[in-house]
Amino acid sequence: MAKEPDINQNYECVTSGIRVSVEPFYLDDQSDPDEPRYVWAYTVRIDNESNEPVQLRTRHWKITDAQGLTDEVNGDGVVGEQPVIRPGEGFEYTSGAPLPTPSGVMVGRYGMTRKNGESFEVNIPAFSLDSPYELRQIH
């Protein structure tokens, strides 16, 4: 069963008129702390608040686990698509990430192009991956 997203967490940023919002959630049914394997899904919403169409061409993710080990992922598009997002419209997708630790952080960027062929990068806000198995200390 997926853990409900924490509505108090607002992971969002705007770059060059493109708003990126992320909502991570822990997937208890796909995780196995004994392995150790912890799995999250995250839904990304990309809204074009500029006045021209843009196309998402590439993605770059930096995924860091609780021990500080970092994995970098590069690829074309997202979930097999390179969507064109028109002004005032958005694109949403859900993907996932496994980690060997009960928490971590993801951050990244999208490579985009404008109608005239100009390339630019859009930031993906850093967001926290937290499982119910993470030990927390209150100071």
Contact 61, 72 (CB under 8 A): yes
- pLDDT, one tens digit per residue, over 23-53 is 999 999 999 999 999 999 999 999 999 999 9
- C-alpha to C-alpha distance for 94 and 137, rounded to whole angstroms: 31
Query: What three-state secondary structure class fits 29?
Result: helix
- Whether residue 113 lies inside any domain: the answer is yes
State the residue for tokens 């991570």: 24
Task: Please tell me the predicted confidence (pLDDT) of residue 2.
Answer: 47
User: Residue 51 sits in a domain of what CATH number?
Assistant: 2.60.40.1470
**Structural domain count of the chain:** 1
The range of the structural domain enclosing residue 97 comes to 11-130
- Whether residue 1 lies inside any domain: the answer is no
- Whether residue 21 lies inside any domain: the answer is yes
- pLDDT, one tens digit per residue, over 91-132 is 999 999 999 999 999 999 999 999 999 999 999 999 999 998
Q: Which has more confidence, 10 or 67?
A: 67
